[in-house]
Each structure stands twice: as C-alpha cells, then as structure tokens.
Structure 1
Amino acid sequence: MAALVALGGLLNWNSTVIREASRIGNYGKIIELARTHRRMTQAQLGEACGLSQSAISRLEKRGVGPYAMDVLLRVSQHLNIPAVLLGLADPAAQARIETENVERRQFLGAAAAVALSPALAVVTGPTDDAEQQANALRLATTSYRRLDGSTPSRELSEAVRSHLRLVQGLVGAAPTDAHRIRLAAVASEVASLNGWLAWDMGDHGSARSFYGAAIKAARAGANPLLAAYQAGSLAQFEAHAGNGVQALSLAKRARNLLEPGFPVVADAWLSSIEALGHAASGDQRSADRALTRSRAAIQTNVDGEPPPWPWVFTLDEAKVAGFRVTCGAKLGLSRWILDSAGPVLTTGHAKQRALLMLDIAAGHLSAGRIEAAFAIATQALDIGLQYRSGRIVERGRALRRSFTTSSAPKVVREFDERMHDVHL
C-alpha cells in the first residue's frame, strides 16, 4: 500500500497498480484499495451504499467484470474514486474538467490536447453546471454503450435515439460557445452509437445518417481527433457493406483530419480500415500492405500506453488479426482466415464474436470443410437470434447463399432450420 500513497497520505490514483486494474477492468481491486486506505470495513462501506457486507466482498473479488454500473456509481461517490477509473466516464471528459473558466480560443486548443492526454487523470470534480451537464450526458452514453454488449439493439435503440434528441436540443439551447462545444462532442458520441445500433439491426440507411451526424457534431465540437474517429467509423461501415471505394475515400478524409502528433492507435486503426476497403475492392496486395502497416504501428507502442479518447479499446495484434480474418472472408482467402482464427475469438462482445465466427466459417467453407463451416456458423447464428441482430442474421444468409449443392449435409440442414426460425 505504501507505494500507492502520495505526499500527505492521499491515495495515488495514477499508481501503476490502480492504472493496470482500471485498464483490464478489475474495478473491485480499486474499490478494495480505496476502502482499506480509508480504514473502512466492508460492512461500513456496504451500509453507506445500501449494500450488504457480503455484496461488498463479492464486488471486491469479482476480478475482470462484469459490474453493475449503478453499484459502481454509488461506491465511487462514497469513496471519492474518480469515475474514469471505474469505467463510468470518458477519460477526456474528466481531463477537460481542468479547462473551466477559460476563453474560447484556449478551450479549443485544450480540446485537441485532451484527446492526446493520459487516459487516467486525477479528477477534482466539475466546477460549473455546463461541465456537470456534459459529464452526466456522457455517463449515460457510456452506460448505453456498455449495455450494447449484452442487450439486443432493438431494445436499446429507442432509448438511445431519445438520448440523442435530448443532447441535440441542449446543443441548440446552449448559452455560450464553450458550452455548445462541450455538448457537441457528446452529441457526436451519441449519434455514433445510434449508427452502430442501426447497423446491427440491418438498417443501413439510418446507420449512414447517424454516422454523418456524428462527423458533423464532432466538427462543431472543435475536436479533429473525434471527427477523424467518426469518419473512420463510417469508412468501416461502408467497407463491410462492400463499398470499397467509398470506404477508402472516407478513410483518407479521416487521415486528413488528424493533426501532427496523433496517437498510434489512430494510425493502426485507420490502416486496418483501409485494409477492409481494399479487400472490399478485391485488392489483396493493398489490403496486405495496410494490415502490415497496422501491425507495425502497434509495435511502436512499446510503453503500452492506454488508448486516448474517443478510442475505448486497446488495438492489439489480436484485433488486427480479426481485421485480417474479415479481409480474408471478403477476398475468399481461406489461408488468411484460418491462420489468424486462433486469437480473434477472445472478445467478450458476443455480437462481434459472432461476426468473426461467420468469417471463420467462410474460411472453412472456402477450404472445403463443410461440416466445420456450418457448425461454427450455427453457433454464430444462435448468438444472432439471441440478440436479434439483423447484421449477424444477414451475414449468415450470405454464407448460406455461397454454398450450393443438391444434397445438403445434416449440419447444413440444421443451419437452415435455425434460419427458418428467424421468420417465426
């Protein structure tokens, strides 16, 4: 514990132990450290937060999630744990707290610096209503984004659309330019989440509209890095939709928005999206080169710095391998798919894992392994039906259309029966 205590006996929120626990999602460890530092028992903390001693014990021993966000919020408020450390707020939103009461020009300069600042900043608390409002709205967005991993998009969609209307209304009514800039960045995040949900439901027209709104709001928020992220997100959507030329054009636009000194994750991520665009255009050589650039960029991050907002994930070699699997599926290269299949199925996001499973199934089918292909595809389809994901179901249909034979094996007939259940 001594290594965690700074001058004056205060807990050092930027210590290696706490930063690592936050990075991997072991929030119970952080809570335990904060509780013991304040010399509180589990029973005392539980009583203060309306929980039992055993509930606090389970919370601290949970390890790498999942965690109930309402519980985390109560505990973080009582122990004064920075919300960002428990995944309850965006790192950049917390860092921007220190930019209060500055002129507009100073604020605009800080916005770009915030996107490149360390992910874990010590939080002193909001100092005015404008920042409190932006933080509250961003916290709600973060909660919806976390729910996406375990909730059907159709159940989330209306709530998230209402959230976007609320934020957009507040942007229009903002009393100052600085207030409007803060809220525009939040609106960009919410619009992007709406685009993701529409995409998952198979509503491509709405997805494009929401991603376009996200780009526009990011520009209004005077945040070039956020605008680049949203343009890259739309590029990724178009690449998956088979529009390679448009995807590459959007990826180029995203790169043009980046300012000098942009983070490594931006370069690696955009290179992977460019690979998808080339694959959608049938250009194997260019796709391979882009994936090589992406891996090389990741390897330059020797210090393992956490990704800056708006990226909320660490882009590592396993994720680049996932891009390679998807490129292989688009290019019909079973070798690319099967060589990279091992590390890509570790994602905890069920819907994303199902999509990768369908790409791997395509690789087995290209290699003539029909039984393996449809066994994996059936597992993926079951996930799609569980979450009522139109995107997963349509990918399953595309895989089935690619296999034509007069006498389908039993595993294919079982897949067809599950697909038939979609309409029931």
Structure 2
Amino acid sequence: MQHEAEVREASRRGDYGKVIELVRKDRRMTQTQLGQALGLSQPAISRLEKRGTGTYQTNVLVSAAAHLDITPDLVGLSGDRPKPQARDDDDMHRRALLGGAIAAAAAPALAALPTTADASSGQAAALRLSTTAYRRLDGSTPSQNLEDAVRAHLRLIQATARTADDEHRMRLAAVGSEAASLSGWLAWDMGNHGSARARYGAAVNAARSAGDPLLTAYQVGSLASFEAHAGNGVQALNLTGRARRALRGRSPAVADAWLSSIEALGHAAAGDRRSADKALVRSRKAAEGLLEQEAPPPWPWVFSFTAEKVAAHRVTCGAWLGLPDWVLSDDVGALATGHAKQRALLLLDIAAGHLAAGRVEGAFAVATRALEAGLKYRSGRIVERARALRRSLALSSPPRVVRDFDERLHGVYL
C-alpha cells in the first residue's frame, strides 16, 4: 500500500476518515464511486473523510472498511483500542455484532438490523446475519447452489419460532419474512414462478405476523415487482397500493422512491406509457432527495435507492413499451447499479431497445454478454429472457452475431 505509514498514523490518532481517504486513493477510486457503493452521496463521503477524530457512525465505517478491504482494527472496529464514538441513534447491538472479520463480511447489510429489541435476542440477530450473508452471496453464486441452504435456514427460523415466547416469536417472524423473500428471489432466478410467488406470499404473511408495517410494505412491494416482471401489470399496481396502505401514511423517502419505481413497472406492463413516465418522475425526485442523507436506509432496505436504480427501472419500462429512446438514454446510468445477474437482465433490456431501433447486430452483441452471465451463474431467468429476445426477431437470413447467439443457446437447459 502506497500510503501504509500514513494510514497507520491516522488510525493511531483516531482519524478514521483519513484512513478511508488514503486507502480509497490507493484503490484509485473516486469519492463518487465509493459513495455509490455505500449508498451515500459524494458530499457525504467528503464529510466522512474530513471528520478527523470526531464522531463516526459505526455501520458506515464497517461498510467502507469492507468495500475498501481495510482491516477492521484500522478504523477502530476491533482490537484493544477504543471504539469510535457512535451517534445517539446508532443501536448498541450493532457494536456487539460488528467486531472482527464477521463485521467485514456482513458490512453492507448490518445497517439493516432494525431495533434494539434484537440486542436481547441473540438467536434472532444471529439468524438475520445468516440471511444477509446469503443475500450477499446471491450476487456471485448460482441460485441452485444457495437454494437448499436458504430453505434449510428458513426451516431453522420457523423451528426456533415455534418454541419461542410471544415477543420473541414476533421478532423471529420478521427474520423469517426476510429469509422467505430471499427464497422467493432464488426461485424466480431459477425460473420457477410458482414457487417464487408462494414464497413471496409467505414473506408477506410473516411480515404481518411480525406486526411491522414497513417490513410488510417491503414484502408486498417485492411481490408487486415480481408480478410486474411476470406481465401482470394490474395485479402489480394493486399490490403497490396495498404496500402504501400498509405504511399508514408514514412512508420514508426510500419507500416512496422504490414503490414509485415499481408502480412504473406495473404501468409499463399494462402498456400505459404516460402513467409509467409520471411514476418514474416521482421516483427520481424522491431518490434525488435521498442523496443529501448520510444515514443508512431504514431496515429492511439494505442499500439506498439511488438515481441509478431509477434509471434501471426506466430502461426496463422502455424495453417493455418498445421505446428505444428511454432505453438508450439511461443505459449507462442503469448499469452502474446491481450485481452481475441484475446487470445481465438490464443488458437484455438494453438489447431490446437496440432491436426496437433496428440495430440488430448491436442488440445481439449486447445480448450475448448477458447470455454469458446467465450461463455462468446458471440463471434460468436470464436464459429465458434471452430466448424471448431471440423469438422477437424474425429474419430469414440473420447476421453472424445472431447465428452465434443461437449456437450458444442450443442445448442449454436451465
């Protein structure tokens, strides 16, 4: 490390912002890039790096350390040195859970631990950490490899809840809701829509049992997103309405931004361009308001909802509505968010935009990149979307790039 001596000196005096700044520069990363990775704005990263020996928010330090590959002790998260002073609203249980290597491993999701109630429940906290670890693995692991482990994890949560007292059972219901939702996502990725719908439904029911309006809205919104992608626009819109009602008029900005984007998908699935555009405008406005906030998103959101994510939804809406200008104007911003499998799905939307504009070779050059990711991660959802794109093109003599695409698809069964 080029600045190793300076990093250690800054750590010794408790200037953890300087540690982050020096390591960020060694990694050749801008403040904007780091902010996007942590769900913060560039000004927020600048303020973090200039904080000196003042107050730090523990979960932000953990996330930055994990992303920059900084050992936790260099930012005061483990070892014998005093821990960084936390803000008043920084839950005490986070400190207990964020020590050592486990803190770095689970960093982006630890901001999602919801309330101090879990501090008295080691079981619920430990089970939630396992769920967040599986969620992180999803971005780089075939869903088939995670499916059995996540289902066993869900059964463990349910078994633990059956022997718990009433108060503890409600907390475990929230943990089970998250695990059921992840299981639904994995089934969706494998192309098993029936199982995905059933598991998302189970996540909604568990959230209601937990008595948590925000979690209920999140899970109903997740089911709405699934239905929109399945082409059920009216059902998706009905579900987003239920999600908003679950919030009882107390909707945090991230929920408003996210639900507006899902409403846009519902309108697009129903073929309503005007309403989709209005929903996207609302979503972008709410997302831009989030940029000024330094605090992590409220649980159960793990990452902030950014303008790049709104761009991704606009690309998808454009693909469904056959509007290449929507797709190709936002393609770069959209690809700045999400993990490899999510980016592959966006690439297929971008390919659809090229195809709608008559750019056949460009469309299938992009689609080939997406298909390679689908094969690498054995994603049935990606492969089926690639097949659907191919079916949308009817040429008696397709160009070479399309023939190569056909060869890659031949004999693939996922």
Cα drift, residue 342 of structure 1: 1.2
Of residues 67, 87, 111, the one that matches 1:91 is 111
Which letter maps to 2:347? M
Kindly tell me: are residues 177 and 254 of structure 1, through their superposed partners in 2, closer, same or farther at Cα, counting changes over 3 Å?
same
Which letter maps to 2:316? T
The alignment partner of 2:70 has SS state of: helix
Of residues 196, 201, 204, the one that matches 1:215 is 204
Q: Percent identity?
A: 58
| Counterpart Cα distance in 2 of 1:29 and 1:372 | 43
Structure 1 residue aligned with 2:305: 315
Structure 2 residue aligned with 1:366: 356
The alignment partner of 1:28 has SS state of: coil
| Counterpart Cα distance in 2 of 1:271 and 1:344 | 17
1:23-422 superposed matches below 5 A: 25-26=67-68, 28=70, 30-34=72-76, 38=80, 77=99, 83=103, 87=107, 90-93=110-113, 96-97=115-116, 99=117, 126-127=119-120, 131-174=121-164, 176-301=165-290, 302-347=292-337, 349-422=339-412
Kindly tell me: are residues 17 and 136 of structure 1, through their superposed partners in 2, closer, same or farther at Cα, counting changes over 3 Å?
closer
Q: Deviations over 1:220-273 (max 9, x none)?
A: 111100000000000000000000000000000000001343210000000000
Normalising by structure 2, report the TM-score: 0.79
Q: In the alignment, is the contact (CA less than 8 A) between 1:375 and 1:411 conserved in 2? A: yes
| Counterpart Cα distance in 2 of 1:235 and 1:180 | 27
The alignment partner of 1:288 has SS state of: helix
Cα drift, residue 26 of structure 1: 3.4
Q: In the alignment, is the contact (CA less than 8 A) between 2:344 and 2:370 conserved in 1? A: yes
Kindly tell me: are residues 84 and 168 of structure 1, through their superposed partners in 2, closer, same or farther at Cα, counting changes over 3 Å?
farther
| Counterpart Cα distance in 2 of 1:329 and 1:14 | 46
Cα drift, residue 136 of structure 1: 1.1
| Counterpart Cα distance in 2 of 1:378 and 1:297 | 34
| Counterpart Cα distance in 1 of 2:304 and 2:315 | 18
Which letter maps to 2:56? S
| Counterpart Cα distance in 1 of 2:367 and 2:403 | 12
Cα-Cα RMSD: 2.9
| Counterpart Cα distance in 1 of 2:271 and 2:97 | 52
The alignment partner of 2:337 has SS state of: coil
| Counterpart Cα distance in 1 of 2:248 and 2:54 | 30
Q: In the alignment, is the contact (CA less than 8 A) between 1:84 and 1:90 conserved in 2? A: no
| Counterpart Cα distance in 1 of 2:76 and 2:105 | 12
Which letter maps to 2:409? M
Q: How many residues align?
A: 354
Q: In the alignment, is the contact (CA less than 8 A) between 1:25 and 1:86 conserved in 2? A: no
Normalising by structure 1, report the TM-score: 0.77
Structure 2 residue aligned with 1:8: none
Q: In the alignment, is the contact (CA less than 8 A) between 2:14 and 2:76 conserved in 1? A: no
Q: Where do 5+ consecutive residues of structure 1 fail to align?
A: 6-10, 41-72, 101-125
Q: In the alignment, is the contact (CA less than 8 A) between 2:112 and 2:302 conserved in 1? A: no
| Counterpart Cα distance in 2 of 1:35 and 1:367 | 52
Cα drift, residue 29 of structure 1: 6.0
The alignment partner of 1:414 has SS state of: helix
Structure 2 residue aligned with 1:22: 63
Q: Deviations over 1:104-140 (max 9, x none)?
A: xxxxxxxxxxxxxxxxxxxxxx44xxx1000111111
Q: In the alignment, is the contact (CA less than 8 A) between 1:88 and 1:143 conserved in 2? A: no
Q: Deviations over 1:64-104 (max 9, x none)?
A: xxxxxxxxx9995459x9x49951764353x533x47xxxx
The alignment partner of 1:262 has SS state of: coil
Q: Say which is worse superposed, 31-40 or 244-253, in terms of deviation.
A: 31-40
Which letter maps to 1:34? G
Kindly tell me: are residues 20 and 238 of structure 1, through their superposed partners in 2, closer, same or farther at Cα, counting changes over 3 Å?
same
Cα drift, residue 13 of structure 1: 9.9
The alignment partner of 2:157 has SS state of: helix
Cα drift, residue 415 of structure 1: 0.3
Kindly tell me: are residues 76 and 216 of structure 1, through their superposed partners in 2, closer, same or farther at Cα, counting changes over 3 Å?
closer
| Counterpart Cα distance in 1 of 2:78 and 2:266 | 51
Which letter maps to 1:15? Y
Kindly tell me: are residues 37 and 276 of structure 1, through their superposed partners in 2, closer, same or farther at Cα, counting changes over 3 Å?
same
Kindly tell me: are residues 238 and 32 of structure 1, through their superposed partners in 2, closer, same or farther at Cα, counting changes over 3 Å?
same
Kindly tell me: are residues 260 and 3 of structure 1, through their superposed partners in 2, closer, same or farther at Cα, counting changes over 3 Å?
farther
| Counterpart Cα distance in 2 of 1:36 and 1:169 | 33
Cα drift, residue 370 of structure 1: 0.7
| Counterpart Cα distance in 2 of 1:76 and 1:228 | 28
Kindly tell me: are residues 204 and 35 of structure 1, through their superposed partners in 2, closer, same or farther at Cα, counting changes over 3 Å?
closer
Q: In the alignment, is the contact (CA less than 8 A) between 2:108 and 2:303 conserved in 1? A: no
| Counterpart Cα distance in 2 of 1:369 and 1:312 | 37
Kindly tell me: are residues 309 and 12 of structure 1, through their superposed partners in 2, closer, same or farther at Cα, counting changes over 3 Å?
farther
Structure 2 residue aligned with 1:57: none
Q: In the alignment, is the contact (CA less than 8 A) between 1:90 and 1:138 conserved in 2? A: no
Kindly tell me: are residues 206 and 78 of structure 1, through their superposed partners in 2, closer, same or farther at Cα, counting changes over 3 Å?
closer
Q: In the alignment, is the contact (CA less than 8 A) between 2:177 and 2:206 conserved in 1? A: yes
Structure 1 residue aligned with 2:46: none
Cα drift, residue 31 of structure 1: 3.5
| Counterpart Cα distance in 1 of 2:346 and 2:320 | 12
